Amino acid sequence: MRADGMAAVTSSPLVPTCRERVVSIQRQQDPVTCVLANQGKLVLSRFLASYVASGDEITLPIPTGEAIGAELFITKQTPFGAVPSLYQALIGYVTQPKPDKRNQLFVSAEVRQGTLGISSVFLPCEVLRDYFYRLPQRDDQAERSTFYDLLRIPMSASPAELRVAFKLRDLELKAAGAPRGEQVALERAFNIVGQPELRAVYDALLADPEAPAVFPYGGLGSLLVAGERSRDGQTFYARRILAFSPERRRRRFQVALRKCEFYDGVALCRDVRRKLELWLDPALLHTVWEPTWNQWKHLLGTKIEVDGTFVPRGRCRKRRGEWALVTWETALPSRLEIKLTADFEQQLDAAKATYHRFGQYADAFEQIRLLLEYRAIEKSELEKMCSPLRLPGDFDLAQISWQSDHDRFFYQQLAQRARRMYLFRSEYIFELEKAVVIETPQLGHATYIFAKARSMENFLAGYTNASKDDIRHNRDNIAERLRFQGRVVHGSNAKAWLKELRQRIGEKADSVATSAD
């Protein structure tokens, strides 16, 4: 959308706005040009212009630049299906369904970068159902296919069967030269039923059209709606969604397979560092799994290469008594491809073999983990405890505390510097030359650094009876007694973490290899 030659007639404290009547529309051009009463010109996409007519009034901020999805308010001269106004804006997080005063379910979308005084869009769940979920018509109306009908597959289909059906139907439409609209409808259908959480919502709606409907992927994109403005002007009540375009981003990266949570027929892969998540099915990985994989996935070293289109997904979570928006990105099922390493199958077999090889020691390891919940045990002491088990020489006892989402880089950098190492719960305590370091080798955590302990026995007694929160806030003087020096957060840049760690522990830059690959 672009505006030329427009004079400001109203203004807000920050951004001036213009409200003008449309005199004529030059539809033969692409994009379409609207001529306004003040002789200014407004360039609109052909889709948006299809809802604009001569005599309509358009209000928008100035300047708008050429940003897709900029805010726009249209007052219709002739109401659009008894709807007086259209509103286009960038929206942020969309709430979960909740009942209004009439006990009708609705969601609310916050307006981002709004300058026209509207702060939120009110969306009844029936509006979401009509646009995103397209339920079959009932009574005497023309019959409408379900998403499963479009994919030509039964509702009972597995996630892998859904993907295969989508691929086959997509090839059929392309081979037949079908209209673009049919391909778009097919892709939209798969992006709903190909995502387990949205599929559950859709199936519930098929069983009961009055069931709650959620805004797919949580909003975050450009929304065009028809409806009316509230009396105070701060809310837009939508009666119909005309278009929604989520923010999209093409991403290509590698992720460790051990970061997946395996379920029956589907797996959720989460990359905490990049804040990305994707749902996998056996048709993508070309292999079948079962939930028991979660028992030995931490032994997997193999990675998969992800190539897909991601959309943002917002979730509100309560932190320290306050609600905060947490934003991740989720892969669209229809635009997700996975490439496997050449030795993928061999690594799977090796991880399974290792798990079964040490399965006979599972009960003993569980007893040790119970001990580690209450006290820190030095690695050499653990070796003595495990000596009667006659463990193979290649077994590293550090694996007793290892979790599937631990990152070996953080662990290895400290292990190679340590004089002694202790295990405590899911943490590792390293006694270095000039410091004591507490490490949970996991993104989202931090490395805690203490001055060199005068007595490791006294240090461990104090540390194991205190929480990280106690240390950070120095409750009962615990931080001073343990000689706490600070912490280094595990960020997305591992090299930055390593550089700051060296400075904190007083290490020379060339003392240990610095590779963070």
Q: Where are the domains of the chain?
A: 1-134+217-246, 136-208, 249-341, 358-505
Q: At a CB cut-off of 8 Å and minimum separation 6, what does 115 contact?
A: 12, 14, 15, 17, 61, 71
Spell out where 417-493 has E strands. 420-424, 427-431, 435-439, 446-451, 484-489
Cis peptide before 31 (omega within 30 of 0): yes
Please check whether the domain covering 249-341 is classified as CATH 2.40.50. yes
Q: What is the DSSP string of 230-265?
A: -TTSSEEEEEEEEEEEE--EEEEEEEEGGGEEEETT
CB atoms within 10 A of CB 292: 11
Specify the pLDDT at position 141: 46
- How large is the angle between the packed helices 494-505 and 408-415, nearest 10 degrees? 30
In angstroms, the CA 297 to CA 276 distance is 19
Q: 260-273 burial, b for 16+ CB within 10 Å, e for fewer?
A: bebbebbbebbbbb
249-341 and 136-208 share a CATH fold: no
Strand, helix or coil for residue 280: strand
Strand, helix or coil for residue 304: strand
CB atoms within 10 A of CB 347: 17
- Model pTM? 0.74
**What six digits make up the tokens of 251?**
């991403």
Contact between residue 244 and residue 131 where contact means Cβ atoms under 8 Å apart: yes
**What six digits make up the tokens of 98?**
């909740």
Specify the pLDDT at position 493: 84
The DSSP 8-state label assigned to residue 400 in this structure reads G
Strand partners, 423: 377, 428
Residue 237 phi/psi, 5° resolution? -90, 110
Specify the pLDDT at position 164: 96
CA 227 to chain centre: 31
CA–CA distance from 22 to each of 116, 171, 275 (Å)? 19, 44, 44
Specify the pLDDT at position 12: 43
How many residues would you count in the chain? Answer: 517
Residue with tokens 């090839």: 171
Q: pLDDT below 50 — which residues of the chain?
A: 2-13, 64-69, 140-141, 511-517
Q: Is the dihedral of CA 432, 436, 440, 443 positive or negative?
A: negative
In angstroms, the CA 193 to CA 133 distance is 10
Classify burial at 358, counting beta carbons within 10 Å of its beta carbon; exposed 0-12, middle 13-18, buried 19 or more: middle
Specify the pLDDT at position 249: 93
Give the pLDDT confidence of 205-228 residue by residue, as tens digits.
Answer: 999 999 999 999 888 899 999 999
Strand, helix or coil for residue 50: coil
In angstroms, the CA 268 to CA 185 distance is 25
Give the pLDDT confidence of 167-217 residue by residue, as tens digits.
Answer: 999 999 999 999 998 999 999 999 999 999 999 999 999 999 999 999 998
Q: Percent of the chain, pLDDT > 70?
A: 90
Q: At a CB cut-off of 8 Å and minimum separation 6, what does 42 contact?
A: 1, 2, 3, 4, 6, 33, 34, 36, 58, 60
In angstroms, the CA 346 to CA 359 distance is 20
Contact between residue 262 and residue 294 where contact means Cβ atoms under 8 Å apart: yes
First to last CA, the chain: 44
What superfamily in CATH does domain 136-208 come from? DnaJ domain (1.10.287.110)
